[in-house]
Structure 1
Amino acid sequence: MTVVTAERITTADHAVRIATELAEVFAAGAAERDLSRRLPHEELDQLSASGLLAITVPAEFGGADLPPSLVAEVVRILAAADPNIAQVPHSHFVYLNLLRLAGTRAQQRDYFGKVLAGARIANAQSERGGATVADISTVLRPVGETGASDADRQPVESSRIDGGGTARRFVVEGTKYYCTGSLFADVLAVLTRLDDPQGISGLEPGEYVAFVPALEPGVRIVDDWDALGQRTTGSGTVEFAGVTVGPEQLVARASAVNAPTGYGAFAQLLHAAIDAGIARGALAAAAEFVRTRSRPWFEAEVTHAADDPLVVQRFGELAVAVAAAESTLIVAGAAVDAAVRPKVAVAQDAHPAASGDGDGAQASIAVATAKILADRAANEVSAAIFEVGGTRSAAAEHRLDHFWRNARTHTLHDPVRWKYQHIGRAVLHNRPPPLHGVI
């Protein structure tokens, strides 16, 4: 468990103020941490202690219950300072949303309470061995599935995982990669596929997220992340060898992912916020460099590089790209807010799960638009630092390359070319985007 005393954030203004204060602190050491790959353990403890990681906890469980648009703004502010730190809690917020949508009351009380106390959740989701990233081979197997006795074959009391005292246990086996934040986590959210051909668990077939303590026996977290950017996100490999879990640790994904709940739109909104933040941070760094270090090109016949009309023109273009990304992020955030308004619960033990007045399809399209513009701005502006800064901007001592490396690495998360496809189909055929949790 993260050893911090977490503050309680109660309003949107409070959250933005705290995020802004932390961003100023985090920005001061971002380039040096990137250069030496010093993992931000202390900074993430500060983030936990600030209370920002609990801002989406529903009010009935003691949280501020702030909307997705506000979470995106907090992430954008942090990303402008250090996108590594901003990316670490991405999965944390996504899996809190899963608990809100699909967890039982008991699970919500448990995990929301941990987060309010400062705990951090990280993902263990992606794999490498399948034909595509959507293929999951990590298995969730009921204990006794092989060679089970008649007693073992009795199903659990309900097909819903209600944590109601059943003795059934499960084993998690597999290896995950790109596990962002795993080196800093208290809990790992492990995407698994139920392997129960005999049907002894009583659970519906499909994918389940197992919430596993990071220090659980059988869990091995490997610090092997070696990408050219986002170097301090702790996105290494996690191995699960005979890790045992109970039903109270399992959440079925289907009700959140295979319905218009805004689950995927929320996750993608935060990715767009990271990219928009990188773009803003890169623009600020470029402007500071040109004002204080660059020499003007002789043909401009000016004393200062910042007065070169061609440089001024280029900064205008870059500023428009950043403003467009930030503006569409605001629009997308409002659309996701509308899509995730809770409806009246349909079961006594279930938290409200799906969209009410909002439109999940419209939210996904709005987020796809924001993601495209944020991707474009982050890569363009971070590369243009050298274009406007001149030869000396490429010197290693200035460490300006970390903006581009971070942008190029993070924007590989999911291809924007498919965002264009979904937007085009919506315009031409009025076809909603697919429900797979990645748009």
Structure 2
Amino acid sequence: MGVIEPQSIDYTQHPRVNSSDPVPPRGRPTQAAHVIASDEEALAVAHQLAAQFAVGAALRDREGLLPIAEIDAYSQSGLWGINVPKAYGGAGVSYRTLARVIAILAAADPSIAQITQNHLAITGHIDLDGTDEQKKEFFAWVLSGLRFGNAFSELNSKTVAAFETRVVRDGDDVVVNGEKFYTTGALLSHIIPIVAVDENDQGVLVFADRDAPGITVTNNWSSFGQRTTASGSVKIENVRVPKHRLLPIAAFDRPTIAGPVSQIIQAAIDAGIARGAIDATIAFVKTHSRPWVDSGKETAGEDPFTIAAIGDLKIRLHAAEALLAIAGDAIDAGYENPTEEVIADATVKTAEAKVLTTEIAILATNKLFELSGTRSTLAKYDLDRHWRNARAHTLHDPVRWKFFHVGNFYLNGLNPPRHPWS
């Protein structure tokens, strides 16, 4: 297929980051999205889109411009539907492929890659917890080009797993009230799955239309990193949703791939950030950096210490990417055979990948400046976006706990916990 290119757009009309003004919903697509048919096609489309998205990444970060046209092209390409099962019309790609797709896009613009993460994880949840009727309806939305947002985390709750958003049943509807933050993807979505707690303290997902009365989305994301993810807030005031759109969250009550899927997407974004930073380092050293006076070399690329450092970064990146692929294979095995043992193996392997992708993302984005020299810090290059993105995104869940759970598994035979951060 020909990849849909982002249309030219007047960036002066874009909603800016860190604003308290509500943002109106985006219109739904006027034509159905392309449906990707295979793993190979998914990877090919990802490479084509990444080349397009890389062009304006620095500008969008520097000016705080949301990737509106880019996200439209991205979802219309079919990549947002690649983990819809084949039985429901999707490609049902392997999780090795899904992780690779995200890493490819994150190397170009990690904010764009992150906007997809909750959509893909929620699509996986539908597969695990939805009724057949819900799967038919919700997967049809995805394949048509509709985008799921995210109304999961809350800013003021005691822990990340505590939810104050409530849902009550009222006839043929449910009514939701609450407030969410870190709502990556919600602003540019068409449907917002809201995590809430019902009358029985059971966690549920409520699939509300983005333009439903009572939903207010604000682009008040003020982080120094991942600036154009629109990870601001969603206010939910007496939002009424048909009750057949309520999906119980039961995937963590039994062995499933839900946690590893969420985590491998995070790890893939960090792997992409690392690759993008290393590529930027190599390009800058070749074209802008000067050789150090003590090296006696004509070019910066001939400096033996720089050469060795690039070699070290590449080796660490390849190790992280290899573990990412291993984790994807383990998740695929868990999807086919969700036993306690197989799911624990997938969770541990994904945690191992998360450790290495975090470490190389932070190392590579720091080394960028050491190897490129002082001029690489000039604002016109905006290379600091790589470090800011890595430092912000790797905070999603603490890697120090990955070491603990992995060690506890191998030393004491204790399986890691089952939740979205494991």
TM-score after normalising by structure 2: 0.92
Matches within 5 A, 1:36-435: 36-143=63-170, 167-195=171-199, 205-254=201-250, 256-341=251-336, 355=338, 359-435=342-418
SS where residue 149 of structure 2 aligns?
A: strand
Q: Within 2, Cα distance between the matches of 1:178 and 1:3?
A: 29
How far apart are residue 2 of structure 1 and its match?
A: 3.3
Aligned-pair Cα RMSD in Å: 1.2
Alignment-mate amino acid for residue 74 of structure 1: V
Matched residue type, 1:295? R
- How far, CA to CA, are the matches of 2:168 and 2:89 in structure 1? 34
1:323-375, CA deviations, whole angstroms, 9 ceiling, x for partnerless residues?
1111111111111111112x6xxxxxxxxxxx269711000000000000000
- 2:392 counterpart letter in structure 1: T
Q: State the Cα deviation string for residues 237-277 of structure 1 (Å, max 9, x = none).
A: 000000012221111112x1121111000110010000000
Specify whether residues 3 and 412 from structure 1 end up closer, same or farther in structure 2 by C-alpha distance, changes over 3 A only: farther
What CA distance in whole angstroms lies between the structure 1 residues aligned with 2:349 and 2:339? 18
| Aligned 8 A contact 2:255 2:340 in 1 | no
2 CA distance for matches of 1:190 and 1:13? 33
CA contact (8 A) 1:138 1:174 kept: yes
CA contact (8 A) 2:182 2:231 kept: yes
Aligned residue number for residue 146 of structure 1 = none
Match of 2:22 in 1: none
| 1:142 positional shift | 2.1
Q: Deviations over 1:365-389 (max 9, x none)?
A: 0000000000000011011110000
Aligned length: 395
Report the CA distance between 1:5 and its aligned residue: 3.2
Contact 2:255-2:339 within 8 A present in 1 as well: no
Which secondary structure does the structure 2 equivalent of 1:386 belong to?
A: helix
Q: Which consecutive unaligned segments of at least 5 residues does structure 1 have?
A: 144-166, 197-204, 344-354
Q: For 2:349, give the aligned amino acid.
A: A
Q: Distance in 1 between matches of 2:208 and 2:296?
A: 64
Q: Could you tell me the percent identity over the aligned residues?
A: 39
TM-score, scaled to structure 1: 0.88
**Rounded Cα–Cα distance in structure 2 between residues aligned with 1:95 and 1:220:** 21
- Rounded Cα–Cα distance in structure 2 between residues aligned with 1:168 and 1:330: 44
TM-superposed CA distance for 1:106, in Å, is: 1.2
Choose 1 or 2 for highest CA Rg. 1
- Secondary structure of 1:88's counterpart equals helix
Shift of 1:18: 0.4
Amino acid at match of 2:65: R
User: Residues 214 and 239 of structure 2 are in contact (CA less than 8 Å); yes or no, is this contact kept in structure 1?
Assistant: yes
Structure 2 counterpart SS, 1:89 = helix
Q: CA deviation at 1:170?
A: 1.6
In 2, distance between residues paired with 1:269 and 1:40? 23
Any idea what the Cα deviations from partners look like across 1:60-114, whole Å, max 9, x if unmatched? 2111111211111100000010000000110001111111000011111111111
Q: In the alignment, is the contact (CA less than 8 A) between 1:272 and 1:374 conserved in 2? A: yes
What's the secondary structure of 1:181's corresponding residue?
A: coil
Any unmatched runs of 5+ in structure 2?
1-27
Counterpart position of 1:151: none
Deviation per residue, 1:145-192 (Å, 9 max, x gap): xxxxxxxxxxxxxxxxxxxxxx43221000000000111100111100
Give the counterpart letter for 1:173 in structure 2. N
Rounded Cα–Cα distance in structure 2 between residues aligned with 1:293 and 1:194: 58
Residue 48 (structure 1) shift = 1.1
Moved more, 370-379 or 315-324: 315-324
Which stretches of structure 1, 4 residues or more, deviate above 6 A after TM superposition?
none
Answer whether contact 2:169 2:243 (CA < 8 A) is retained: no
Structure 2 CA distance, aligned partners of 1:168 and 1:27? Answer: 46
Instruction: Tell me, yes or no, if the aligned pair for 1:266 and 1:336 is still in contact at 8 Å.
Output: yes
Contact 2:111 2:228 in 1 (8 A): yes
